[in-house]
Amino acid sequence: MESAEVDELVEAARSGDHGAFEELVRQTYTDTYTLALRLVGDEEDARDVVQETYLRVHKGLKKFRGEARFSTWLHRITANCANTYLGRRGRHQHEPLPEEPVVASVQSADDPEESVRVRGLRDELSLAVHALPPKLRAVLVLRDVYGLPHNEIAEQLEITESAAKVRLHRARKRLREQLYPLGHEEQVRAM
């Protein structure tokens, strides 16, 4: 998503160009939706989170000074909105994951068999991530998928940094146990 074009749009939007802001939305909303859906786990909820996110971005854009990348700033706001949304709804049940339509995937087409195998693993991983409790899932997605630092995650989710770390380790452990159910000896042989 990050490009010189986005930077230019951000600059223009900051100076009040509404057309530039709309273009910025056009260029970023799929990524924002992707993160929102991964955090809240439900399409309708993700749509609400995305709308709320852009409202906050619109209000706060003048305060954005470019110290972080725009995409990082957008991720933070999305995470915060998703957290607020989940808290407000108080809904923590797990719903079946809708089929994930893939738009763009960095995938080598050199080896079709390998390609299919990797795609299968990714689907399995997406399902496993979705099945995590929202509190664990949010930390895992923000840290291990989007690379946000622990202190940022703690701030956006309104928890302590140590709580964020504990949740992350629990989430990783659950995922590993789910995705690698074989005995250890078999795993060693398989590798």
Partner 1 sequence: MQCETVSLQLAEVADGLEKLPAHSAEHVKSCLRCQAELAQYRKLLRALMALRDRRLVPDDYLLDEILDVLRPPASVHLLHRRGRRTAYLGGLAAATAAGAAGAIVIAAKLAQGRQRLAS
The Cα 110–Cα 121 span in angstroms is 18
142 binds partner 1 (CB under 8 A): no
Measured between alpha carbons, how far is 74 from 10 in angstroms, rounded to an integer? 12
161: contact with partner 1 by CB under 8 A: no
Rounded CA gap, 131 and 103, in Å? 22
Choice between 90 and 101, CB closer to partner 1: 101
Which of these segments, 15-23, 81-89, 108-116, 152-160, binds partner 1 (CB under 8 A)? 15-23
Q: x-or-dash pattern for partner 1, window 98-127, by CB under 8 A?
A: --xxxxxxx--------------xx--xx-
Please identify, using beta-carbon distances, which residue of 11 and 182 lies nearer to partner 1: 182
CA distance 175 to 147: 18
Alpha-carbon distances, residue 185 vs 26, 173, 177, 180 (angstroms): 50, 18, 14, 12
* Integer Cα distance of 11 and 89 in angstroms: 35
Footprint of partner 1 on this chain (CB under 8 A)? 18, 21-22, 25-26, 29-31, 33-34, 37-38, 43, 46-47, 50-51, 54-55, 58, 100-106, 121-122, 125-126, 129, 140, 144-147, 165, 168-170, 172-173, 175-176, 179-180, 184-185, 187-188, 191
